[in-house]
Amino acid sequence: MGSEMNQILEMQREAPVKLATLIAGKSEDALRRTPAPGKWSVVEVIAHMAEDELATSWRYRQMLEHIGTPLPGFDQDEWARRGQYAQWDLRDALEMFRLLRAAVSRLSDEDLERRAPGGREPIGRLLRGIAAHDLYHAGQIQLIKRLA
């Protein structure tokens, strides 16, 4: 495994701790406040990250089990609405994210080389996208904390 992949996997492992650090010392009320109408609160962002991790974990497993199986996307706003992200318990969302993320660290080098449906990209390369997703939402949380 290359050094870039090691860095990406390390970012994956550190993400739950980084999220916990970002919200440390903030009141529950502050974390539930939205920065503007129709925008997510910090709690909603973390609930989204937990459910996105659920979908991503399932996708990795499908890629490992069924090479070439189409993997449907999902509408994050629909999941947020139906999942009532604003009502989530923050600790539950963080724990769900942490547990699902820990499963990724158990993928072997061989697993990380398995190709996505249609042979496009290996799982390891898709992890880069998740790392970018984590960075985006960490920045979003920092912005919400300033605005809310």
Q: Which backbone phi and psi does 88 adopt, to 5 degrees?
A: -65, 150
Name the nearest CA neighbour of 96 among 48, 140, 33: 48
The string of pLDDT tens digits covering residues 88-97 is: 999 999 999 9
Q: For Cα atoms 85, 90, 93, give the angle at the middle one, nearest 5 degrees.
A: 70
Q: What is the pLDDT of residue 124?
A: 78
Domain count, the chain: 1
Asked if residues 123 and 111 have their Cβ atoms less than 8 Å apart, the reply is yes
Asked if residues 33 and 145 have their Cβ atoms less than 8 Å apart, the reply is no
The string of pLDDT tens digits covering residues 63-96 is: 888 776 677 788 999 999 999 999 999 999 999 9
The domain that contains 67 carries what CATH number? 1.20.120.450
pTM assigned to the model: 0.90
Helix (H) or strand (E) segment spanning residue 35? none
Domain of residue 118 covers 3-147
